[in-house]
Each structure stands twice: as structure tokens, then as C-alpha cells.
Structure 1
Amino acid sequence: MTELGPTELGSAIEPEVTRFVPFLKWAGGKRWLVTSHAHLLPKTFNTYIEPFVGAGSVYFHLQPDRALLGDANSELIATYKAIQSDWQGLVNSLKYRERRHREDADTYYYWLRGQAPEELTQRASRLIYLNRTCFNGIYRVNREGQFNVPRGTKNKVLIETDDFAGMSRLLQGAELLAGDFEDLVDRAEDGDLVFADPPYTVLHNYNGFLKYNEILFSWADQQRLAQALQRAARRGAQVFCTNANHQSVRSLYDQPEFKLEVVSRYSHISASSASRKYFEELIIRANI
């Protein structure tokens, strides 16, 4: 990775700086946003706040000097903390897991899937290993919080785009918190940027994927998020939220503080390439 030159506090980096490729495949990831609609993202801001960090596509694209990153998934936040504090130990653990996987993929995958390590680096390498070798890169847990996706066909645990050393340097400027989104959004102040990408739950929708999201993120949570973002906008924070383009969601943000825009993206969430298609998404920005 090239050396970073001086940047404006919290601002997006210059185009010539090497870009990171997110290390996870995550449902609802925003690679499409930074690929096709990066021009919509703010260029300057103070602290970057992302309460649903997921694979971190926007964070790794903007590379802010100061960040507050959160997620309800404690295993995910533990993974970011491991990269932040001991990326070399993480790489060594992933190398070990790759050797074990090559020896007997089925036995090792299902054994590790049933484990719950407590040490930070081991938790992180388990999540990355499962994400890269499970079916279709899906992260899904049952009602007891246990990862339950079967093994897929991919066998590579370390890949060419991995830059854990560079990510670790970037994450030195980040505070990482596992927990509810509202606590993070409420910390946004004048000049900060809040990027919110919640699970796409809509009112009165019986689509299977969105019904699953309702378990993770209820309609009441959608309402709570809209109210928290409205408060942040009133404090002078820049708000950028992606959400489902559905009338029930649009009605939540039909407020003077926001402007709405519809964009298209290509969906990769399907086992069959024939059933993957373009979807409309809603972008909500602070009207400042």
C-alpha cells in the first residue's frame, strides 16, 4: 500500500491512494455504492460514524482519519478489533486454518463452526474462515445466535486482495463498539458524517429475506433510526443513509431535514446467477 500524504481532517483520501478491498462478503454490502455512486458521498467531514459497519465498504473507501464504527454483531466487531490490534497474529491463524481445511475440509469446517473461541484473534480468524468457505458467503445465525450456514465450494482462506497490515493502520484512528445503533448516532456532532446502512426491513412485507431481517432489525428499529438520524441532522451532522425504496420507508424520512434519491444496484444475493437482478435503493441525505 502506498504511503498516505497529509489529508484534510476526516476527509476522503485522494484517488491515487491504493484502495482497500473489504475482507468480508456481507449481505447488504455497499461495494455497489462505492463503485457506481461514490460521487454522492460527502468529501469533507470531521468524525466518520457508521453504526452498521458490516463489511465496511464505505469506510474503507473514504479512509477517514477519525471514525466511530459499530455493529450489533459482536463477533464482527471482535474481528475488526483483532485486525486493529494484532493483524499479524490474525494472518498466522488464518494460515493455520487454511492448512487444516486443505487436509479435510468437511471435518474441519463443521468442527470449527460448532466452536466458540474466546480469544480475540481466534474469534476473528474463525469468522473470516467461515465467511470465505461457507455457502455463498452468507452470514446467518439461528435464534440461539449460532452460525448455521453449510460449507460451500470455495477453499481459499487467505486471498490476494488481503491487506490486513494497511487496514490495521487505518483502524488505529477508529473506536470500535458492539451494540445498538442509536448510541452511536447520538454521538454525532456538527460537521460529523453518519453513514447508516441498516437491514432492509419494511412495513407489511412478506418477502422471505426481508422477513428474516425483521428478526434482526424490526420496523420499530427502523422508526428509531429515522428519529435518531433526524436528531443528528438537526445538530448539524451530515447524514447519508441507504435503505429499501419502499413507501413505508420513504414516509419515515418525509421530513424537512432530508432529501431522498432513488438509485439502482445489482443484487448478488442469490444462489442462481439467473435470478440476480437490478434493484432500486433509497438514499437519504441530510438537507443541509
Structure 2
Amino acid sequence: MKQMNNNLKPILKWAGGKTQMLPNIIENLPIDITNQTKYVEPFIGAGAVFLHFIKENQFSEYIINDINTKLINLYICIKEDTENLIQNLEKLQSEYLALTDINLKEEYYYNIREKFNSDNNDTTITSAWLIFLNKTCYNGLYRENSKGNFNVPFGKHEAPNIYDKENIKLMSKMLNKKNVNGEYLVKIFNTSFENLISYIDATTFVYLDPPYRPITSRGFTAYNKSNFNDASQINLSQFYFKLDQYKAKLMLSNSDPKVLNSNDMFFDNLYSSYEIKRVSAKRMINRNGKGRGPITELLITNYK
């Protein structure tokens, strides 16, 4: 397939983002991937895998989804209100960089965070705040408390690059691609993963990248106020089984519990009927810098 000459990349840094895992994911795609015409990603996050496929024209239809409303509003804003988003980001970046003291930058950060958590109906401004917070918070982490408020502390960044105008425009172009009938190639949803089942059939490749099961005692799963716990992982596995019956091609990524406990068979038992491959990865979010080295993660497929 024709590869586009561009450097399209995720706009956000995201816990569990798949940029570094892309080679492993591509290597483990179905041999007959060209038979699949539709791509569905129920947990889009920063979208590294989706962006790879759409820039290479891999599929003729794409469905991206996330339960995080503010994240999905950002994708919609990039698609529909690109210039206003860029103008808001330019204002935020200029104001932040003009502050000469880190304490003033910290005060600015928390002021934006408070606004972000308030009831604001202007999705373009809220989307700009999301990008700003992502680039200035601690470790590029997105986390919500039980009330649904973003609660990541200030990251003490002196002069971060808040946004990449050309990359935003390029992503907007991708999200606005149409087929020969004038229909958008990309559909954007904001719902629970279970609600996507009616869009999936034997022509579909589904990539599932849920919040990972923690492999440390203080592991991270709370991307939003609805914590993705073991019961959620089991529910997702049942969804996976159902999609397999629909003859869709499936790939799911998750943490490898055996990194922490060699006797932890949680996913090995849950997906015992499927292909489970352990691949090398680098954990990017860890309190201890020594904990950011190579580990293994799981790729689970319903094909060999």
C-alpha cells in the first residue's frame, strides 16, 4: 500500500502509549491483514497504532473510541476546529513561556488545571487545556480522581514544547479523509467498549489496548474515574471471546503479571484459548527511574 510521506505522530503523551511498541505490533499483524477492510480501536488513548495505519492507508474504514469524554472531544476538535485550537494553544504557550520563575509557572499550571476541571462548554478551549496540561504535568500522565477531576501535579517543566502546529494540521487532515463516496473514513465515538460490537464483523481488525493491569503494588489503572480493575479485565476478555465468534481478527495488549510474580497466571488463564506472546517493552511511567528499563508485555491474538 502507498505510504504517505509524513511524520504524523501522537499529539499527547499517554500512559501506555504504543509508539515504542509499534514494531512489535506490526510484526504480529495477521498474515492476511489485507483481507481486513475495517479497523476498530476501542481504547484510542494517544492513537499511535491508529495513526500508523491511517497514514499508510491500511484500511478503508476506521472506528476510534474512548470512554474519556475530554480525550474524544480533543479528536473531534482537531478534526472540526483546527485553527481555533491552534490559536488557543499559541496563547497558552506564549503566556507560560513568558513567566520567568518556576513558581509562577506552577501557579499558572494549577490555574489551568482548575479551569479544566470546571464545567466548561467550550470544547475547543478545554481541548487546548488538555494538551497544555499533558505537556506540563508530571510525566505526561492523565489521571482522574473519583469525582472525575484531573489531578496530576505540576511537572516543573521550564520550557516545554506545548504543541506542534504542523502535526495538528496533519492529524486533522487524516481525520477528515473521505472515500470515493464522500464519506468520512474515520468515525469517532465516546462510549464503553461493549457498545462497539455492532460495528464489528469478519472484515474487521480490532486492536484492544485497555488500561493495563498493574504489575506493581502502586500500579496505575485510573485513567478516568471508572477504575479499570480485574473485574473489568474479565469483562473485556468476554468481549474478546464474543468478537472471536464474529470471526474478527483480534489483537490485545496488556501488562505481563509475571514480571512481578512468576506464578501470576491471570492473563494466561483468561486467554488460554488464544496466542499469547511476550514481547520486550520499556515502561515509561514509574516513580523509580531504575524501573523504566526493559520488561515484557503481552500481545494476545486470535490467530497464529
TM class, shorter-length: 0.7 to 0.9
1:16 is displaced (CA, Å) by: 5.6
Distance 1:196 1:275, change over 3 A: same
Aligned residues: 272
Distance 1:41 1:18, change over 3 A: farther
Letter of the aligned partner of 1:217 in structure 2? F
Give yes or no for the alignment of 1:38 onto 2:26.
yes
Find the counterpart in structure 1 of residue 298 from structure 2: 282
Find the counterpart in structure 1 of residue 133 from structure 2: 130
1:85 is displaced (CA, Å) by: 0.7
Letter of the aligned partner of 2:174 in structure 1? L
Measure, in 2, the Cα distance between the counterparts of 1:167 and 1:96. 21
Find the counterpart in structure 2 of residue 253 from structure 1: 271
Give yes or no for the alignment of 1:193 onto 2:197.
no
| Consecutive unaligned residues in structure 2, runs of 5 or more | 100-104, 177-184, 258-264
Find the counterpart in structure 2 of residue 10 from structure 1: none
- Name the stretch that deviates more: 15-24 or 206-215: 206-215
1:274 is displaced (CA, Å) by: 3.0
Find the counterpart in structure 2 of residue 164 from structure 1: 168
Find the counterpart in structure 2 of residue 119 from structure 1: 122
SS in 1 for 2:21: helix
1:158 is displaced (CA, Å) by: 3.7
Root mean square deviation, CA, Å: 2.3
Question: Which residue of 242, 259, 264 maps to 2:280?
Answer: 264
1:244 is displaced (CA, Å) by: 2.1
Judge conservation of contact 2:40–2:63 (CA < 8 Å) in 1. Answer: yes
Find the counterpart in structure 1 of residue 69 from structure 2: 74
With the length of structure 1 as denominator, give the TM-score of the two structures: 0.86
Measure, in 1, the Cα distance between the counterparts of 2:256 and 2:286. 19
Find the counterpart in structure 2 of residue 228 from structure 1: 239
With the length of structure 2 as denominator, give the TM-score of the two structures: 0.82
Distance 1:222 1:272, change over 3 A: closer
Judge conservation of contact 1:20–1:163 (CA < 8 Å) in 2. Answer: yes
Measure, in 2, the Cα distance between the counterparts of 1:270 and 1:14. 38
Measure, in 1, the Cα distance between the counterparts of 2:220 and 2:114. 27
Find the counterpart in structure 1 of residue 82 from structure 2: 87
Distance 1:49 1:281, change over 3 A: same
Find the counterpart in structure 1 of residue 6 from structure 2: 18
Letter of the aligned partner of 1:109 in structure 2? Y
1:211 is displaced (CA, Å) by: 6.6
| Consecutive unaligned residues in structure 1, runs of 5 or more | 1-12
SS in 1 for 2:81: helix
Measure, in 2, the Cα distance between the counterparts of 1:95 and 1:227. 45
